[in-house]
Structure 1
Amino acid sequence: MAQATSAFHVVGEDDATAIWFLGTLALIKGHGAGSGGVFGVVEFTHPPGFATPLHVHNNEDEAFYVLDGAIRGVCDGREWSASRGGFVWLPRGSRHGYRVEGDEPVRTLVFSIPAGFERFVIEAGEPALARTLPPPSEPDLEKLGAAAARYGQEILGPLPL
């Protein structure tokens, strides 16, 4: 079996693939194709009031680094919070989710180990027409559910916070 290889590359601020994903702006900074499948990186801008559903990633661990703002979440029943400069590790298989705290957008870097989450974002989202938050809209739950199933994710329901 051939092993995936990685190659040196640089992604500039304006070079990242821009996706509108569940009301957020997602900038794909690191594709698994460039890291030999080792990890993926997505920079998210979340609007005030944003919350994920409670969900599980069965194929990858997930890590957050908060660039701006504050988030509050739950992981396997434990509540947590993180603000600018904070780091959160969410092991694969954990039941987790988070919400934006406050009235300002939040920016995070999300790392998936191994890669794969970035492909889910691309498939479940849509190409951004601008590098801004998308206009408010209802999520396409059928598209989201199909992509989640393909990428080993389970959407469990509303966030219990």
Structure 2
Amino acid sequence: MTDAATSAIPTDDPNRKLTIADRDSPGVRHVAVVGDTYSILVSGADTAGKYCLIDMLVPDGGGPPPHRHDFEESFTLLEGALNFTFRGESTTLRAGSTVNIPANAPHVFKNVSGAPARMLCFCVPAGLDAFFLEVGDPLESRTSPPPKLDPAQMKARIATIVSLAPKYRTDLLTP
């Protein structure tokens, strides 16, 4: 047993608080991002920027455009099936599977379930949570319907996402 004064592990920071999150808890923030619903379970603010955990609800056919970031991203699929394309190679994952996307690797996923898919997204370090909160539409709950964007609103939203992506260390790979 080591003395706290000689340990290589820093002392406990009493200013940091225990985070307990349930996707239906009143303190969880929910946001719609171009049709998907993301519930920020554990934010970068909760972890001193070390990581974030997001509960993602993706409608059938939904998913982001091809992209990459300079941080690690893992997904655990809880419900449904998703087609993941990683560096140009595709595979279909089903509930119970976990996939890790290394930093900087091009990837994309699409819900191919025929029903909504649900997964947990874990990012190290945090930042994706803040990106989604900045570009998305706040929702009252995880079951609130995302807003219906008309073509002009969708175009404006995509322009915002594209302009803010570099701030959050994300590169959108669309033509």
- Provide TM-score, normalisation by structure 2: 0.81
Where does 1:11-50 land on structure 2 (aligned, <5 Å)?
11-12=21-22, 13-14=24-25, 15-50=27-62
Corresponding letter in the other structure for 2:28: A
Report the counterpart of residue 116 of structure 2 in structure 1: 105
- Count, aligned residues: 153
Are 2:18 and 1:8 equivalent residues in the alignment? Answer: yes
SS in 1 for 2:173: strand
Report the counterpart of residue 147 of structure 1 in structure 2: 164
Identity score, percent? 25
Q: Deviations over 1:37-60 (max 9, x none)?
A: 1110110111111132110112x1
SS in 2 for 1:33: coil
Q: Over aligned residue pairs, what C-alpha RMSD do you find?
A: 1.6
Counterpart pick for 2:130 among 102, 119, 123: 119
Counterpart pick for 1:57 among 47, 52, 69: 69
Report the counterpart of residue 79 of structure 1 in structure 2: 90
Corresponding letter in the other structure for 1:37: G
Q: CA deviation at 1:135?
A: 4.0
List runs of 5+ in structure 1 lacking aligned partners: none
Contact 2:55–2:120 (CA<8 Å) still a contact in 1?
yes
Corresponding letter in the other structure for 1:7: K
Counterpart pick for 1:94 among 88, 102, 105: 105
More strand by share: 1
Q: Deviations over 1:63-106 (max 9, x none)?
A: 00001000001111221221111101001100000100121000
Q: CA deviation at 1:152?
A: 1.0
Question: CA separation in 1, counterparts of 2:43 and 2:140?
Answer: 20
Which structure: larger Rg? 2
Q: Which has the higher contact order (CA 8 A, sep 6+)?
A: 1
Contact 1:66–1:107 (CA<8 Å) still a contact in 2?
yes
Question: CA separation in 2, counterparts of 1:90 and 1:52?
Answer: 14
Question: CA separation in 2, counterparts of 1:103 and 1:81?
Answer: 13
Contact 1:7–1:35 (CA<8 Å) still a contact in 2?
no
- Provide TM-score, normalisation by structure 1: 0.88
List runs of 5+ in structure 2 lacking aligned partners: 1-12
SS in 2 for 1:32: coil
